[in-house]
Amino acid sequence: MLIEPHIWDDTHPSRASTLGKFTLVNNKEQSGDTPPISIESEPTPSSTHDSFTLPPIPENAPYTIRTSPGRGLGIFTTRPIPAGTRLIAEPPLLSVPHGRYRVADLEARYAALTPSQQALYASLGSSHTQRAKHWGVGVYKHIPRWDLERVREIQAIRCAGVKSVGSIFVTNCMGMGADGEGAGVFPTAARCNHSCVPNACFAWNERLGAETVHAVRDLEMGEEVLVSYCYVLHARDLRRWELRGYGFECECEVCEGDSWDVGSKVARSLARRARVSELDEWVGKRVKMFGLGFEGPEEVPGKNGEVGSVDGSDEGLLTLAPSREVLSQIFLMAIEMVSLLRDEGLVCPLLAGGYMTIALLCVALGDLNFAIDAAQKGLDTFLIIYGDDHYRAIETAARVRELKVKAGVGNTDD
């Protein structure tokens, strides 16, 4: 199967995707019998893009698609945008229901598209000129054989030197499906470029059957919409390594600079994100250890099946009722985590989850008013990043109502 040559935009692979699903190994061989689909060289995009196949922009949409200096095409606002505004809601152009796909699966789905849909798919960026030696192999030695063949195939199309159906997919795909296992290409959302301090968030909305992009802070008219392609808590060097999969090195405000200068923005960001990562693990482990929940602690046995009291360390027996001192310590750590995320400018699911953790700790400490306040902040954050029709926002709204009823300040219909 060959793709007819189109006008391409390869200046920068404008993508936000689930890079972790597409782990790469150091292997230059192409799996299977079919070589990557080659195409002709692409011209540099013009400022108007009249010759490019672009997705249709809905009437009264708050954005346009145009050149982003040094990044290819990007999404830009056409008017001031308040935080929480849904900028994009888009069904997939091409999708697979699971992460264990092969290139042949993608090519079969591409063949089923109409000519105009194929042209739109082909207009997306592709990172296909990577060097295999940049990707390690040692950590993949325990991958099952079937998965190893798959990741080798993905590696091959990234390093093949030609643009193909597969290389476009792995450069542009986003997670989708109720369980997050599927992946799809969304031509408009794919034009969002990357920042490690994003001003927007993308997410799959199962109720809509669409990928959504929401502004997570107020945006000025003409501001570029930027999302994060990688996990925001990773250190700068790891983020840069991950972003090689998209064919660029990030030069955003927390990446470009001297990390050894302790007073620099880069160094302060590294310190905050490292501390948040540490706190997230520490707090999460103890919440699970003590079985904390909004309905009270769950029965969590100790190492030998017993239930007892501990001081919050990783050793000893687990407890159904940790001491107030231990709960207060976990509470303060959760507060610190949320504060650091806010200082870092990261309005993301981790921030919303941090507020909800504070809320359940307040329930355990018997402070329902503070719990309601924290849960409301969690809900407000979920509404900003997901919208009110996303299951996380719906579930959290129900939790806030339950807390209000428990505190005697509301009812289930509020």
Q: What is the pLDDT of residues 364-395, one digit of tens each?
A: 999 999 999 999 999 999 999 999 999 999 99
What pLDDT was estimated at residue 223? 98
pLDDT at position 144 over 70: yes
**Edge-to-edge strand ranges of the sheet holding 174-176:** 94-96, 182-185, 174-176
* Selected residue with higher pLDDT from 204 and 256: 204
* Selected residue with higher pLDDT from 157 and 108: 108
pLDDT at position 18 over 90: no
pLDDT at position 62 over 60: yes
In the block, residue with structure tokens 């990043």: 385
Among the residue ranges 18-32, 147-161, 276-290, the one predicted with the least confidence is 18-32
What pLDDT was estimated at residue 140? 59
Delineate the domains of the chain, giving CATH numbers in brackets. 19-246 (2.170.270.10), 265-407 (1.25.40)
pLDDT tens profile 310-358: 444 444 444 457 899 999 999 999 999 999 999 999 999 999 999 999 9
pLDDT at position 254 over 80: yes
Half-sphere exposure of 347 (CA within 13 A, CB side): 23
What pLDDT was estimated at residue 25? 29
What pLDDT was estimated at residue 297? 54
In the block, residue with structure tokens 């194929």: 118
pLDDT above 90 as % of the chain = 57
What pLDDT was estimated at residue 2? 34
pLDDT at position 44 over 50: no
What pLDDT was estimated at residue 203? 95
Q: For the residues 80-92, what does the mean pLDDT come to? A: 97
